[in-house]
Amino acid sequence: MKRRAHSAFSLLELLITLALLSIGLSIAIPAYSALKQKSEHAALRDQLHASLNHARLQAVLRRTTVGLCGSPDGLTCRNDWSQGWRIYLLNNPEQNLQIQQFDKSSTLRWAGFDKRLRFHDNGTTPTSNGRFFQCKEEQISWQLVINRQGRVRQASRAENQEEAHRCQQ
């Protein structure tokens, strides 16, 4: 009868594999965490940009003034944009056009002349020009700049560095 030779890993081989695996994970996990945070920031920026364009479009289509304000509950307006926002008709503030809320608080901030943003029926923003920005480690991760014509643009890296003082407390 033929005997089969049993093959297996030795304890030393298993320990070396386990050590290499743990080193690889210790490098990959922080990189994954940074990638996840960057992705969350980009998603918030894109979501806000879409909401700003939606509010402007609704003002033009409905031929009325539309407001956008920070709102933790979707019912009231506050200067705090970190938990969400609401889009509503200015002549009928109870009628919400869009409500955006977050499960956890973000670091979204608004810097402008008024705590809310308004779009007139022609798409302009009277004295509501300003900027939304998100901070990351006392630096600006991104900015969306709104001009008086109601147009929204993303700020350049140089602009983000110039405005970094907004994130320092």
Query: What's the CATH code of the domain at 88?
Result: 3.55.40.10
Q: Is the pLDDT of residue 152 over 70?
A: yes
Domain that holds residue 50: 43-167
The average confidence (pLDDT) of the chain is 88
Q: Is the pLDDT of residue 169 over 70?
A: no
Is 116 within 8 Å of 88 (Cβ atoms)?
no
Examine residue 147 and state whether it is found in any structural domain, yes or no: yes
| Structural tokens at position 57 | 């479009």
pLDDT score for 107 = 81
Q: Using CA atoms, how far apart are residues 51 and 150, in angstroms rounded to an integer? A: 13
Q: Using CA atoms, how far apart are residues 112 and 130, in angstroms rounded to an integer? A: 4
Is 70 within 8 Å of 77 (Cβ atoms)?
yes
**Chain length of the chain:** 169
Examine residue 112 and state whether it is found in any structural domain, yes or no: yes
pLDDT score for 1 = 59
Examine residue 103 and state whether it is found in any structural domain, yes or no: yes
The pTM of the full predicted model, rounded to 2 decimals, is: 0.80
Examine residue 7 and state whether it is found in any structural domain, yes or no: no
- Alpha-carbon torsion angle 89, 94, 97, 100, nearest 10: 120
| Count: domains in the chain | 1
CA 122 remoteness from chain centre: 27
pLDDT score for 10 = 86
* N-terminal to C-terminal alpha carbon distance within the chain: 81
> pLDDT tens, 21-58?
999 888 888 888 888 888 888 999 999 999 999 999 99
> pLDDT tens, 63-115?
999 999 999 888 888 888 888 999 999 888 888 899 888 877 778 888 888 88
Examine residue 114 and state whether it is found in any structural domain, yes or no: yes
Examine residue 69 and state whether it is found in any structural domain, yes or no: yes
